[in-house]
Structure 1
Amino acid sequence: MRPWLHSFFLGSALLLAAATAQAAIEAYEFDDEATEERFQQLTEELRCPKCQNNNIADSNSPIASDLRREVYRMLNQGASDDEVVDFMVTRYGEFVLYRPRVSEMTWILWYGPFVLLGIGAVVVLLISRRRRRSDTADAKPGLDAAERERLNQLLEQDKKR
């Protein structure tokens, strides 16, 4: 058999296998609807450590599948939502949460934008005050009656020349 023909058949077989491959669909059975809703909510709130932009409910990665299975196991054992989240955070860190908790490590994340907004407002206020002062300093001050009289005398003298 010719080498290129062998490669052609091998490539065709791989394409056919890839076309017929299907993603495994996980079906979890729950005792009640409340537990199923908790499962859905938790899997949507937890970030996939591999994908980073997907939650574990939407991710097809093997680790997301393992995490879904772990959430299911913990819920069936009667764990609370906080216990499930604490387990995931202990295992994968705060990164696994889409909404990190407020702690010493996340203060800048939660309050940083407000601090920057406040600093920006102060800077704008200072710049506007400085401009107002410089505009006032550049403007000619008003003349009192004696100065106006003196100015008129000087102008009259200038006209006579």
Structure 2
Amino acid sequence: MKEAIRRKRKQLGCLPRSKYDIIVRCLNGSFDVPVKKRTPEENNCLAMIRKRKDFELGDRGSLLCGGKQVLVKEDLPRFVEKMFMENKGCGARVIYNKLKVNYTGFSEQAILEILYNSKYYHEKYPRFTNKPKPKTISEEEPGKRWQIDIINMKNQSVSYKGST
């Protein structure tokens, strides 16, 4: 007897709020748009529900996929910031591994982009890559360009062996 090979299902990507709401309405049974009036986004969501059999609703009306709560694309920065602050600053991989235990619908790359665009990450881990390039000064002939700094030193008296 051959054992059935379990194929790994493609991971669910970040859903925008509009698609999330359409899927929740379909699972609730309150989606009643006629077929001819459906938008391409609504048709896409209905096809996604037909293809993926692991969508269900949680106790508070939240969308679950494979037993994990689906995060909305607009809410992901809030979850990343919360996890970053709870762990007192950590990288994208740590945040990804901690979030994927309970949530789905995001990638490590999406978390990395959120961190790079956030102020709290750059306050914790400053990158000094925005330094100006040194300006090279070239002269046409020797001694053409002179720069003299004149400093008033009357207030700063200097003494050497008792005399100024």
TM superposition score normalised by structure 1: 0.28
Normalized per residue, which structure has more strand?
2
TM superposition score normalised by structure 2: 0.28
Structure number with greater Rg is 1
Normalized per residue, which structure has more helix?
1
